[in-house]
Amino acid sequence: MPAKATTSRTRRGAGASKRATREPTRTTKAAQRAEMTETILDAAEHLFSRDGLYGVTLKDVAERVGVHHTLVNYYFKDKQTLFDAVIARRAGVTSSARMQALDAYEAACKGKPTVEGALRAFLDTDLDLYSQGGEAWKNYGALGALMSNTRHGGELMDQHFDPVVLRLVGLLKRAMPEAAEEDIFWGYHFVTGALMLTLARTGRIDRLSGGLCRSDDYEAVKARMARFMAAGFKTICKPRNGTRGKSR
């Protein structure tokens, strides 16, 4: 009887040992899959930021990664799925950071927001990500600028960024309670246009200014953009012919 008990314990011990051996293998495979996914997303992000959705193929991505294109197909069924995954990967980070900044600003201003204060919370937080996040974040910013000018890109913007944009708009409405609502939305339209051009880093301002300004100088942009846009908001939101608040 003791011998059988010993044998039973031995078998159980052997089974536990096998499970322990298999577990690291599963973990390793999961880690390898996650690593390859990130590698593919990084490569695609770089290429999409340069050539857009329609200028890149899955073979291009595979070549940059250094694998056969069928492996990219294994991870992402088609180019559209890959593109959407590239956008989604960092969208949550930037949206969350800006939402937190707007929440913190609202608490700090004690219910009395200013136009410039709200814009700084929204714009400066985003610019910090692109200036401090390395080349990958700069690529993402350039990609955002490219996709914002396409129909599908606009839909992705709606999907990922509407909540934080509407949070900003809500603060702007409180900062300018007498402003016509359409003027506030037009003001945001101009703000996002300037932000997208900045993130595109085309180098045009470098050439126009003879090197005096640099398109990747986010600190210079931060020092000027919110103040400039706040002045624009205040100008277009002034009453026109005594018809403040009416559709014009």
Q: Domain for residue 9, yes or no?
A: no
How far apart CA 144 and CA 156 sit, in angstroms, is 10
Length of the chain: 248
In this structure, the answer to whether residues 154 and 67 fall within a common structural domain is: no
Residue ending a domain, choose from 75, 101, 123: 75
In this structure, the answer to whether residues 122 and 216 fall within a common structural domain is: yes
pLDDT, tens only, 158-173: 999 999 999 999 999 9
Mean predicted confidence (pLDDT) in 1-15: 52
Q: Domain for residue 51, yes or no?
A: yes
Number of domains in the chain: 2
Note the pLDDT of residue 116. 97
In this structure, the answer to whether residues 71 and 173 fall within a common structural domain is: no
In this structure, the answer to whether residues 163 and 40 fall within a common structural domain is: no
Show the domain range for 222: 89-236
CATH of the domain at 31: 1.10.10.60
Q: What string of DSSP letters covers 28-93? A: HHHHHHHHHHHHHHHHHHHHHHHH-GGG--HHHHHHHHTS-HHHHHHHSSSHHHHHHHHHHHHHHH
pLDDT, tens only, 140-196: 999 999 999 899 999 999 999 999 999 999 999 999 999 999 999 999 999 999 999
Note the pLDDT of residue 138. 94
- Burial (CB count <10 Å: 0-12, 13-18, 19+), residue 34: exposed
In this structure, the answer to whether residues 71 and 143 fall within a common structural domain is: no
In this structure, the answer to whether residues 62 and 115 fall within a common structural domain is: no
Q: Domain for residue 177, yes or no?
A: yes
